[in-house]
Structure 1
Amino acid sequence: MKRILIYVCLLFSAFSAWGRNDNLGKETKEIMKRVADWQIDHPNSGAVKDELDWTRAPLYMGMVDWAEIAEKEDRDKTYYDWLLRIGRRNHFQMGKWMYHADFIAVGQSFIDLYIKYGDRKMVAPVMARANWVVENPAQTSLKLDYSRMETLDRWSWCDALFMAPPVYAKLYSLTGDRKYLDFLNREYKASYEYLYDKDAHLFYRDARYFTQREANGEKVFWGRGNAWVIAGLAEILKAFSPNETSRKFYEELFVELAERLAELQSPDGYWHASLLDPKSYPSPETSATGFIVYALAYGINAGLLERDTYLPAVEKGWKALVGAVESDGKLGYVQPIGADPKKVTRDMTEFYGVGAFLMAGCEYKKLFE
């Protein structure tokens, strides 16, 4: 009798967990669809209209992740078709500046589309740009005054670590050509040594903030800036094979940054515009929160982060993100384009915030499958 009771209890627990997970999956899909559809219906909602701009790159990345779920589970090709129309309309080209990380960022999703469809036109432009940069590396010092345009030829600001490095990781994975890996490792580690505060375990946005302080006397560490970095690390690690020897540096940095960011989550579930002075910026901020939730959820799914330790932060962060979505699907509380903490209001939205939300939702959904 005792064994039967134990079996019944375990069976009930399993069915309860299955039901909860199934409901969570449906709820997550529903909210992602609403957000994705709102964005598609409002193509001019962002500050920059150029479809190849860096602000669109995270949106396309999030849409690729969402499109895969929609097609696989619902046979809905709407989102892949939307991405293909954008790519073809722009001939899958990169932005104008040869070295600037922002102008190769859209190449990440174009590589993903090439992997799915096998059309070389989708990958040729990003490969041509990357080849040129690798073969003609910028000679600029990272320590130039940030006001000089030449400093943008290299990854001298932390956002760049999301924009460009995953491109080279993906091209290395795609081709096996070590020139992409060698370039990635050299440039990333140079930026890490320059921008990473090894005491605070956080990245400065750029050299202008090395000596600045917040109102409470703390160092200035921008929420979205560090969110860009950890989300970019997740993309790099996704691209690498499990036995890639270069993984060690990126894995260790990912785990270290994840641990620090988890400590800095606010009680409301958000990561605010200023990581060390959230009281000066009390408003929610969904772009930082979206990218961090995405990265932490990826870390759990990939076995890099302990589920019991990090799942509460992910769940609280996802709940906060969902709370920033209007009934029509508009995502609010996205800090506008910038380089440091700023005030945020509910009506503010941007392409990269929506991309971060979709990336986070897709990875969150996997936690319960």
Structure 2
Amino acid sequence: MYKKILIIFLCFPLRFLSAQTDTLEDFPEGYTPEEVGKLVAYRFVYAKHALHAGKWISYPETFYWNGALRFAQLTDDRALLRSMQDRFELLLTTEKELLPIRNHVDLNMFGSLPLTLYQITGDQRYKELGLPYADTQWEVPENAKPGEKEWAEKGYTWQTRLWIDDMYMITIVQANAYKVTGDLKYIDRAAKEMVLYLDELQRPNGLFYHAPDVPYYWARGNGWMAAGVTELLRYLPEDHKDRPRIMEGYRKMMKSLKDYQTADGMWNQLIDEPDYWAETSGSAMFAYAFITGVKQGWLDAGTYAPAARKAWMALVSYIDTKGAVSEVCVGTNKKNDKQYYYDRPRRTGDYHGQAPYLWCVAALLEK
């Protein structure tokens, strides 16, 4: 009898520790990353293009595509992967005119998509298409404006705007270029740019204004930063000179996001406004940053894993039976008007929201 009690006592701390670290596993039916990923990713197979200015593949579509590819890779879903490749093949043939030009931060990010395809398939065409999008981000065009040239002279991309959105757009293409080439110049660029944005835009509470002249903590804007800094830390060498500064900014942001998470697990359209509506795209980006941070050991699992799980469980409830995410803020330019952010239309199935859900799925599936 006493021996049995002793065994139970000795095993309890281990089971308790396991319960803390396994919070991001064993989801109930309907909430597993496999189920959610398949529902959201397959919606993209027959979806229409979402074009930038009605002309080129937009960044929301690019990131939705990337997310579907990653899900296909992680689950060895060859049918989905083939569908994604077949769809992309049109951009090399009959839909060439939809390939984005390379003159803006919201367009150069497209290079991340062919570079992702290259990493999965090894098809050299994808690499040759993707790398120029990373390179031209640091090649100043002849018609560059004075302010753009000034950023370039300081070693930053001429596409610098100091909008927090940029820190996903720039990071994702430069990090992918680093992954496929091993050339440190790409990751150095992303790190240098990230430090600039941290220094210029991060507030004492850890969050970020949309831009220096727009003092509001917009959820998806902060989400772009949260996802961007997370992506960068995943691939930034441990001994990189900028890693301590970037990690400091990341952890400071995560702590603030933990504090502002609502009782139901979401974050509001303006993060610090309790009366604003819950917004799904930004919330999913924050959940992705939490999940990755816990799994990478950057964040304390006992504190952040339950918060990440709570967010995921809440997020799944916004997906309909066709894989469309609701309560997604539409594309939003900066504006120094608080009411403007509250009044932004909300859509269901908007690609701004579809992509971050797949980032969460990938983070949950990765070992």
Please state which band the TM-score falls in when normalised by the shorter chain: 0.7 to 0.9
Change (3 A) 1:270 1:49: farther
Letter aligned with residue 105 of structure 2 = A
Structure 1 equivalent of residue 296 of structure 2:
302
> Which residue of 270, 273, 285 maps to 1:274?
270
Q: Is the CA contact (8 Å cut-off) linking 2:39 and 2:323 kept in structure 1?
A: yes
Instruction: Note the alpha carbon deviations across 1:164-215, whole angstroms, 9 max, x for none.
Output: 1232233234323333234333333333333222x232211123314xxxxx
Q: CA deviation at 1:139?
A: 6.6
Instruction: Tell me the secondary structure at the aligned position of residue 235 of structure 1.
Output: helix
> Which residue of 39, 43, 55 maps to 1:38?
43
> Which residue of 324, 328, 331 maps to 1:334?
328
Structure 2 equivalent of residue 176 of structure 1:
182
Instruction: Tell me the secondary structure at the aligned position of residue 86 of structure 1.
Output: helix
Q: How many residues align?
A: 343
Letter aligned with residue 357 of structure 1 = Y
Structure 2 equivalent of residue 88 of structure 1:
89
Structure 2 equivalent of residue 148 of structure 1:
none
Q: Aligned Cα RMSD in Å? A: 3.4
> Which residue of 220, 225, 242 maps to 2:221?
225
| 1:352 and 2:336 aligned | no
Structure 2 equivalent of residue 322 of structure 1:
316
> Which residue of 103, 120, 123 maps to 1:119?
123
Q: CA deviation at 1:126?
A: 2.5
Q: Is the CA contact (8 Å cut-off) linking 1:87 and 1:122 kept in structure 2?
A: no
> Which residue of 61, 69, 74 maps to 2:74?
69
- Which runs of 5 or more residues in structure 1 are unaligned? 145-150, 211-219
Q: Is the CA contact (8 Å cut-off) linking 2:137 and 2:159 kept in structure 1?
A: no
Instruction: Note the alpha carbon deviations across 1:95-150, whole angstroms, 9 max, x for none.
Output: 2242x2111222223222212221221122231232233243867538x9xxxxxx
Q: Is the CA contact (8 Å cut-off) linking 1:67 and 1:80 kept in structure 2?
A: yes
Structure 1 outlier segments of 4+, above 6 Å = 16-20, 45-49
**Which deviates more from structure 2 when the two are superposed, residues 342-351 or residues 180-189?**
342-351
Instruction: Tell me the secondary structure at the aligned position of residue 45 of structure 2.
Output: helix
Structure 1 equivalent of residue 198 of structure 2:
192
1:233-272 residue pairs with structure 2 within 5 A? 233-272=229-268
Q: Is the CA contact (8 Å cut-off) linking 1:45 and 1:350 kept in structure 2?
A: no
Instruction: Note the alpha carbon deviations across 1:68-103, whole angstroms, 9 max, x for none.
Output: 2321xxxx21222232123322239852242x2111
Q: Is the CA contact (8 Å cut-off) linking 1:62 and 1:355 kept in structure 2?
A: yes
Q: Is the CA contact (8 Å cut-off) linking 1:64 and 1:109 kept in structure 2?
A: no
Q: Is the CA contact (8 Å cut-off) linking 2:191 and 2:232 kept in structure 1?
A: no
Letter aligned with residue 192 of structure 1 = L
Change (3 A) 1:49 1:315: farther
- State how far apart, in whole Å, the 1-side matches of 2:316 and 2:33 are: 9
Q: CA deviation at 1:31?
A: 2.2
Q: Please, what TM-score do these two structures have when normalized by structure 2?
A: 0.81
Q: CA deviation at 1:63?
A: 1.3
Change (3 A) 1:8 1:357: same
Q: CA deviation at 1:62?
A: 1.7
Letter aligned with residue 29 of structure 1 = E
| 1:292 and 2:286 aligned | yes
- State how far apart, in whole Å, the 2-side matches of 1:336 and 1:184 are: 27
**Which deviates more from structure 2 when the two are superposed, residues 1-10 or residues 254-263?**
1-10
Q: Percent identity?
A: 23
- Which runs of 5 or more residues in structure 2 are unaligned? 151-156, 335-340
Q: Is the CA contact (8 Å cut-off) linking 1:227 and 1:288 kept in structure 2?
A: yes
1:4-15 residue pairs with structure 2 within 5 A? 4=4, 7=7, 10=11
1:40-55 residue pairs with structure 2 within 5 A? 40-43=45-48, 52-55=57-60
